Amino acid sequence: MKWSFIIQQKIKAALLLSGVMVFIILNSLMSRSSMNMIDRSFSSIYQDRLVPAIDIVYLSEHLYTKRLLLEKELSNKEPKEIPVLVRQLHGHDQKIDSLIAEFEQTILIEEEVKSLAAFKKNMQAYSALEKQVLSLGVNSSFDAGKELFYTQGALVFQKAIHQLSKLTKIQSVVGKELMKDSHIEAHYINLLFTLQIVIAIVIALFWRFRIDTL
């Protein structure tokens, strides 16, 4: 009878320990999955949000520089400087194209794709307008060039800046969502570890009680 009781107790202990081991393994797997998700979120915040946000700043800088260069040329009314200006504008266009290509390599949501496509379209229109203004300058039609630059040119320029502003806002919103998801996963991991500690304490107290009652 005594041996039967001991065997029953050992079976119960084995089942309890097996359950604890299964729980610990599952807990570890779930924690690892959550940690991987947090790691991906933070990597995405840097690669797909922070870096593109910096690229947007550089895009704005090149766009404003292009406009200031052309504005300065129109105010000077010296067509002899136009070949130099053309090379400068082309250099900024190349850098803008490079930044756009880098931006397109990141993970983009649908709204970003649309805004970036609109920005590229505006840039093409603005570059074409620059050529028109420069052509008028070469022909000494400075007044016509100025009018085109400050009317239609200003409109296209503002549209391009508006699209960059929209992209910046999207970066902020998506970044906040990624941070929120990371906080939820971190809270989930903390909950799992707390539960594991509680179960370990309960088991320890249970066995202490069993020993005391034997």
Half-sphere exposure for 157 (CA within 13 Å, toward CB): 20
Q: Which of 24, 48, 36 is nearest to 185 (CA)?
A: 36
- Using one digit for the tens of pLDDT, what is the confidence trace for 141-171? 778 888 899 999 999 999 999 999 998 888 8
What is the reported pLDDT for 20? 65
Q: Residue 35: its pLDDT value, please?
A: 67
CA dist., res. 185 & res. 211, Å (int)? 39
The reply to whether 122 falls in a domain is yes
In a domain, 154, yes or no: yes
Alpha-carbon distance of 88 to 129, in angstroms, equals 16
Q: In this predicted model, what pLDDT tens digit does every residue of 43-81 receive, in sequence order? A: 666 777 778 888 899 999 999 999 999 888 888 755 556
Q: Is residue 208 part of a domain?
A: no
191 domain residue, yes or no: no
The count of domains in the chain is 1
**pLDDT score, position 68:** 92
Domain membership of residue 96 (yes or no) is: yes
Task: Look at residue 71 and tell me if it is in a domain.
Answer: yes
- 60: domain range? 38-178
In a domain, 174, yes or no: yes
Q: What is the CATH number of the domain that holds 160?
A: 1.20.120.1730
Which pLDDT belongs to residue 170? 86
Q: What pTM value is reported for the model?
A: 0.72
pLDDT-based confidence at residue 2 (cuts at 50, 70, 90): low
Q: Is the pLDDT of residue 118 over 70?
A: yes
Q: What are the structure tokens assigned to 68, written together?
A: 């200031």
The model's pLDDT over 159-212, given as tens digits with 9 standing for 90+, comes to 999 999 998 888 888 877 777 777 777 777 777 777 777 776 776 666 666 555
Does residue 187 fall inside a structural domain?
no
